[in-house]
Protein backbone atom coordinates (compact mmCIF):
# COMPACT_ATOMS: atom_id res chain seq x y z
CA UNK A 1 0.00 0.00 0.00
CA UNK A 2 1.12 3.55 -0.73
CA UNK A 3 2.55 5.31 2.32
CA UNK A 4 0.49 8.34 1.41
CA UNK A 5 -2.82 6.48 1.48
CA UNK A 6 -5.69 7.81 3.53
CA UNK A 7 -6.30 4.48 5.30
CA UNK A 8 -2.72 4.33 6.56
CA UNK A 9 -2.63 7.87 7.91
CA UNK A 10 -6.17 7.58 9.23
CA UNK A 11 -5.14 4.58 11.32
CA UNK A 12 -2.02 6.39 12.52
CA UNK A 13 -4.05 9.44 13.59
CA UNK A 14 -6.58 7.20 15.37
CA UNK A 15 -3.79 5.48 17.34
CA UNK A 16 -2.30 8.79 18.50
CA UNK A 17 -5.69 10.25 19.48
CA UNK A 18 -6.79 7.06 21.28
CA UNK A 19 -3.59 6.94 23.31
CA UNK A 20 -3.82 10.62 24.27
CA UNK A 21 -7.43 10.27 25.39
CA UNK A 22 -6.67 7.14 27.40
CA UNK A 23 -3.53 8.44 29.10
CA UNK A 24 -5.16 10.84 31.56
CA UNK A 25 -5.28 8.34 34.43
CA UNK A 26 -1.69 7.29 33.71
CA UNK A 27 -0.55 10.91 33.95
CA UNK A 28 -2.19 11.12 37.39
CA UNK A 29 -0.22 8.10 38.63
CA UNK A 30 3.06 9.37 37.17
CA UNK A 31 2.59 12.79 38.79
CA UNK A 32 1.67 11.30 42.18
CA UNK A 33 4.59 8.85 42.15
CA UNK A 34 7.11 11.52 41.12
CA UNK A 35 6.02 13.79 43.97
CA UNK A 36 7.59 11.38 46.46
CA UNK A 37 11.05 12.22 45.07
CA UNK A 38 13.43 15.09 45.75
CA UNK A 39 12.88 17.94 43.23
CA UNK A 40 16.06 17.21 41.24
CA UNK A 41 14.88 13.65 40.51
CA UNK A 42 11.26 14.39 39.62
CA UNK A 43 11.80 15.21 35.94
CA UNK A 44 13.97 12.13 35.42
CA UNK A 45 11.33 9.91 37.02
CA UNK A 46 8.59 11.41 34.85
CA UNK A 47 10.63 10.95 31.66
CA UNK A 48 11.84 7.41 32.30
CA UNK A 49 8.55 6.35 33.83
CA UNK A 50 6.61 7.65 30.82
CA UNK A 51 9.01 6.11 28.30
CA UNK A 52 9.00 2.73 30.04
CA UNK A 53 5.20 2.84 30.31
CA UNK A 54 4.90 3.41 26.56
CA UNK A 55 7.19 0.45 25.81
CA UNK A 56 5.08 -1.67 28.13
CA UNK A 57 1.91 -0.49 26.39
CA UNK A 58 3.32 -1.47 22.98
CA UNK A 59 3.93 -4.99 24.27
CA UNK A 60 0.45 -5.14 25.79
CA UNK A 61 -1.16 -3.88 22.58
CA UNK A 62 0.37 -6.73 20.61
CA UNK A 63 -1.12 -9.31 23.01
CA UNK A 64 -4.18 -7.32 24.14
CA UNK A 65 -7.02 -9.60 23.08
CA UNK A 66 -5.41 -12.74 24.46
CA UNK A 67 -4.57 -11.08 27.79
CA UNK A 68 -8.05 -9.74 28.43
CA UNK A 69 -9.62 -13.15 27.92
CA UNK A 70 -7.65 -14.67 30.82
CA UNK A 71 -9.87 -15.16 33.90
CA UNK A 72 -8.88 -13.55 37.21
CA UNK A 73 -6.32 -11.24 35.55
CA UNK A 74 -8.45 -8.17 36.13
CA UNK A 75 -9.17 -9.23 39.71
CA UNK A 76 -5.45 -9.36 40.42
CA UNK A 77 -4.92 -6.08 38.58
CA UNK A 78 -7.73 -4.40 40.51
CA UNK A 79 -6.21 -5.49 43.83
CA UNK A 80 -2.84 -4.08 42.76
CA UNK A 81 -4.48 -0.80 41.78
CA UNK A 82 -6.16 -0.51 45.19
CA UNK A 83 -2.80 -1.01 46.87
CA UNK A 84 -1.11 1.59 44.65
CA UNK A 85 -3.86 4.13 45.34
CA UNK A 86 -3.51 3.66 49.10
CA UNK A 87 0.30 3.86 48.99
CA UNK A 88 0.33 7.04 46.91
CA UNK A 89 -2.08 8.65 49.34
CA UNK A 90 -0.06 7.58 52.38
CA UNK A 91 3.06 9.22 50.91
CA UNK A 92 1.56 12.72 51.25
CA UNK A 93 0.61 14.48 54.45
CA UNK A 94 -2.65 16.35 55.11
CA UNK A 95 -1.22 19.53 53.66
CA UNK A 96 -0.32 17.79 50.43
CA UNK A 97 3.39 17.90 51.10
CA UNK A 98 5.16 14.75 50.07
CA UNK A 99 7.91 13.22 52.12
CA UNK A 100 10.85 13.43 49.69
CA UNK A 101 12.49 10.20 50.71
CA UNK A 102 11.48 7.85 47.92
CA UNK A 103 13.92 6.47 45.37
CA UNK A 104 13.62 7.04 41.64
CA UNK A 105 13.66 3.29 41.03
CA UNK A 106 10.71 2.84 43.40
CA UNK A 107 8.77 5.66 41.71
CA UNK A 108 9.37 4.19 38.25
CA UNK A 109 8.37 0.76 39.52
CA UNK A 110 5.10 2.20 40.85
CA UNK A 111 4.45 3.91 37.49
CA UNK A 112 5.09 0.69 35.58
CA UNK A 113 2.88 -1.50 37.77
CA UNK A 114 0.02 1.02 37.64
CA UNK A 115 0.36 1.46 33.88
CA UNK A 116 0.42 -2.31 33.38
CA UNK A 117 -2.82 -2.67 35.30
CA UNK A 118 -4.65 0.32 33.82
CA UNK A 119 -3.58 -0.37 30.25
CA UNK A 120 -5.22 -3.80 30.04
CA UNK A 121 -8.43 -2.19 28.79
CA UNK A 122 -6.91 0.86 27.13
CA UNK A 123 -4.76 -1.06 24.68
CA UNK A 124 -7.85 -2.61 23.12
CA UNK A 125 -8.74 0.82 21.69
CA UNK A 126 -5.22 1.25 20.30
CA UNK A 127 -5.27 -2.24 18.81
CA UNK A 128 -8.66 -1.51 17.26
CA UNK A 129 -7.36 1.70 15.71
CA UNK A 130 -4.34 -0.12 14.28
CA UNK A 131 -6.64 -2.72 12.74
CA UNK A 132 -7.73 -0.12 10.17
CA UNK A 133 -4.29 -0.19 8.58
CA UNK A 134 -2.84 -2.91 6.33
CA UNK A 135 -1.41 -5.77 8.38
CA UNK A 136 2.15 -5.13 7.23
CA UNK A 137 2.10 -1.62 8.77
CA UNK A 138 0.19 -2.23 12.01
CA UNK A 139 3.10 -2.89 14.36
CA UNK A 140 5.08 0.07 13.02
CA UNK A 141 2.07 2.37 13.40
CA UNK A 142 1.50 1.24 16.99
CA UNK A 143 5.14 1.82 17.95
CA UNK A 144 5.45 5.22 16.26
CA UNK A 145 2.02 6.41 17.38
CA UNK A 146 2.56 5.50 21.03
CA UNK A 147 6.10 6.90 21.02
CA UNK A 148 4.79 10.25 19.79
CA UNK A 149 2.52 10.46 22.82
CA UNK A 150 5.46 10.40 25.27
CA UNK A 151 5.98 14.20 25.24
CA UNK A 152 2.26 14.74 25.85
CA UNK A 153 2.21 12.36 28.81
CA UNK A 154 5.35 14.00 30.24
CA UNK A 155 3.83 17.47 29.86
CA UNK A 156 0.56 16.35 31.44
CA UNK A 157 2.33 14.68 34.38
CA UNK A 158 4.56 17.71 34.99
CA UNK A 159 1.57 20.06 34.96
CA UNK A 160 -0.42 17.80 37.29
CA UNK A 161 2.48 17.63 39.74
CA UNK A 162 2.59 21.43 39.94
CA UNK A 163 -1.17 21.68 40.35
CA UNK A 164 -1.07 19.07 43.13
CA UNK A 165 1.36 21.31 45.01
CA UNK A 166 -1.15 24.17 44.96
CA UNK A 167 -4.32 22.10 45.41
CA UNK A 168 -3.58 19.08 47.66
CA UNK A 169 -7.15 17.79 47.31
CA UNK A 170 -6.18 16.61 43.80
CA UNK A 171 -3.93 13.99 45.43
CA UNK A 172 -6.94 12.54 47.23
CA UNK A 173 -9.03 12.71 44.05
CA UNK A 174 -6.25 10.95 42.13
CA UNK A 175 -6.13 8.13 44.68
CA UNK A 176 -9.94 7.87 44.51
CA UNK A 177 -9.70 7.62 40.71
CA UNK A 178 -7.39 4.63 41.03
CA UNK A 179 -9.87 3.03 43.43
CA UNK A 180 -12.71 3.63 40.98
CA UNK A 181 -10.74 2.07 38.12
CA UNK A 182 -9.96 -0.92 40.35
CA UNK A 183 -13.67 -1.37 41.04
CA UNK A 184 -14.43 -1.33 37.32
CA UNK A 185 -11.82 -4.05 36.79
CA UNK A 186 -13.33 -6.22 39.52
CA UNK A 187 -16.75 -6.38 37.82
CA UNK A 188 -15.50 -6.79 34.24
CA UNK A 189 -13.27 -9.82 34.77
CA UNK A 190 -14.39 -12.79 32.62
CA UNK A 191 -14.79 -14.89 35.77
CA UNK A 192 -17.51 -12.72 37.35
CA UNK A 193 -18.75 -10.24 34.72
CA UNK A 194 -21.91 -12.23 33.91
CA UNK A 195 -22.86 -12.53 37.61
CA UNK A 196 -22.49 -8.79 38.25
CA UNK A 197 -24.46 -7.83 35.16
CA UNK A 198 -27.26 -10.20 36.20
CA UNK A 199 -27.49 -9.32 39.89
CA UNK A 200 -26.36 -5.70 40.17
CA UNK A 201 -27.50 -2.86 37.93
CA UNK A 202 -24.80 -0.27 37.20
CA UNK A 203 -22.25 -2.61 38.77
CA UNK A 204 -19.22 -0.74 37.44
CA UNK A 205 -20.42 2.57 38.88
CA UNK A 206 -21.43 1.15 42.28
CA UNK A 207 -18.40 -1.07 42.87
CA UNK A 208 -16.11 1.63 41.48
CA UNK A 209 -17.52 4.20 43.90
CA UNK A 210 -17.18 1.81 46.85
CA UNK A 211 -13.54 1.09 45.97
CA UNK A 212 -12.82 4.80 45.54
CA UNK A 213 -14.12 5.51 49.04
CA UNK A 214 -12.23 2.49 50.39
CA UNK A 215 -8.90 3.74 49.02
CA UNK A 216 -9.39 7.21 50.51
CA UNK A 217 -10.54 5.93 53.93
CA UNK A 218 -7.78 3.32 54.26
CA UNK A 219 -5.11 5.64 52.83
CA UNK A 220 -6.02 8.52 55.13
CA UNK A 221 -6.21 6.17 58.11
CA UNK A 222 -2.74 4.74 57.47
CA UNK A 223 -1.45 8.24 56.81
CA UNK A 224 -2.65 9.50 60.20
CA UNK A 225 -1.29 6.41 61.96
CA UNK A 226 2.14 6.98 60.40
CA UNK A 227 2.07 10.66 61.41
CA UNK A 228 1.12 9.69 64.97
CA UNK A 229 4.09 7.33 65.23
CA UNK A 230 6.45 10.03 63.96
CA UNK A 231 5.16 12.65 66.39
CA UNK A 232 5.10 10.25 69.36
Over the stretch 8-52, which tens digit does the pLDDT of each residue have?
777 777 776 666 666 666 777 888 888 878 888 888 888 888 888
Instruction: Answer for the pair 226, 182: CB distance below 8 angstroms, yes or no.
Output: no
The three-state DSSP-derived secondary structure of 30-68 is: HHHHHCCCCHHHHHHHHHHHHHHHHHHHHHHHHCHHHHH
Mean pLDDT of 113-124: 69
The residues, any chain, with a CB within 8 Å of residue 142's CB and separated by 6 or more, are 15, 58, 61, 62, 126, 127, 130
Q: Is the pTM of this model over 0.75?
A: no
What distances in angstroms separate CA 41 from CA 84, 103, 104, one per listed residue? 20, 9, 7
pLDDT at 82 over 50: yes
Range with lowest mean pLDDT among 35-49, 90-104, 182-196: 90-104
Specify whether the backbone of 202 is left (phi greater than 0), alpha (psi in -120 to 50) or beta: left
Among residues 150, 218, 162, the alpha carbon closest in space to that of 35 is found at 162
Output 222 or 24, whichever has higher pLDDT: 222
In the chain, the percentage of residues whose pLDDT exceeds 90 is: 10
Mean pLDDT of 147-160: 77
What distances in angstroms separate CA 104 from CA 11, 49, 203, one per listed residue? 36, 9, 37
Confidence of residue 101 (pLDDT cuts 50, 70, 90): very low
Over the stretch 133-147, which tens digit does the pLDDT of each residue have?
677 777 777 777 777
pLDDT at 95 over 50: no
Amino acid sequence: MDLGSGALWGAFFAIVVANILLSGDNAVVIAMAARSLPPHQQRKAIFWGSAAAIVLRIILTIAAVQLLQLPYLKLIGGALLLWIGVQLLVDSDDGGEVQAHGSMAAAIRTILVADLVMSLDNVIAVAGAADRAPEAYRLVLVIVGLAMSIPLIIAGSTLLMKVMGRFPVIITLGAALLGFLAGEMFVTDPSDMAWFHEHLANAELIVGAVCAVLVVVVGKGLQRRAEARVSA
